[in-house]
Amino acid sequence: MNKKGSKNESLRGAVPLSHFFLRQRVQPGDLALDATCGNGLDTLLLAELVGEGGRVWGFDVQPCAISATKALLEREGRSGNVELFETSHERVSEHVPAGLAAAVFNLGYLPGGECSLVTSPETTVSALTQAAALLKKGGLIVISLYTGHEGGPQEAFAVEGWGASLDPREYNVWRSRQLNRPDTAPYLVLVERVR
C-alpha cells in the first residue's frame, strides 16, 4: 500500500473517496485502466490491487506524466503488470481489452508540476464511452471532477450529461459531493456496470 493510499486514509476529497471504492471492488487478478496517469498515484493503487496476476493499462498525453508514473511504479516494484501509453485516452479501445474491473478518470490538470495540460470535454466523454463498454459486470468507473480551473465547469457539465444519458438497466450512475465544502470543491461521479 502506498503512503497516500493507506487503508485508513480519511475521505477528505474526491480522490480518497475514489480509492475507497476501488479498494472495495478491485481484486487480485483483475484488469484495470488509469485513463489519466499524471504522477502515477492512481496507477500505483490499481497495480497494487490487481497484484501480479492482474493487469493495468495507463494513458497520459504528457511525456513528463508517463515518465513520472513509470518512475513511481519502478520505485515501488509494481511496473511488471502495467502497460503505459503516451497517447490520448481517446485511443483506449485500441489497446485495452474488455473485462475491466475498474477505470479511473482523475480529470483536470496536474497541480504543482511542469505538466499543465488539462483534460477536455470531448476527449474525456469519448474515452468514458469506450471505458463503459469495456467494463465487466460489477465493474466501476471512478471520475474525479474539478470545477475550479478554466474549462472545469464545462467538462463537469459534459461528464454529468454523459452519465445521465446512460441506460439505468445497464449502469448505475452516482454523483458524490461534499456538503460542507465550497461548490468548487472536487467531486466524484461513479459508474457501475449492472449487466
List of residues contacting ligand SAM (CB under 6 A): 36-42, 59-62, 65, 88-89, 106, 108-110, 115, 117, 119, 123
Rounded to the nearest whole angstrom, what is the least distance from the CB of residue 22 to ligand SAM in the complex? 12
Cβ nearer to ligand SAM, comparing 4 with 194: 4
Whose cell is 508514473? That residue is 69
Cβ nearer to ligand SAM, comparing 100 with 115: 115
Rounded to the nearest whole angstrom, what is the least distance from the CB of residue 194 to ligand SAM in the complex? 26
What are the Cα distances from residue 23, in Å, to 16, 20, 31, 101? 10, 5, 14, 11
Rounded to the nearest whole angstrom, what is the least distance from the CB of residue 137 to ligand SAM in the complex? 25
Cα angle: 189, vertex 159, 42; to 5 degrees? 50
Cα angle: 99, vertex 104, 106; to 5 degrees? 165
Cβ nearer to ligand SAM, comparing 59 with 171: 59
Rounded to the nearest whole angstrom, what is the least distance from the CB of residue 92 to ligand SAM in the complex? 9
33's torsion region: left (phi>0), alpha (psi -120 to 50) or beta? beta
- Residues 128, 105 contacting (CB under 8 angstroms): yes
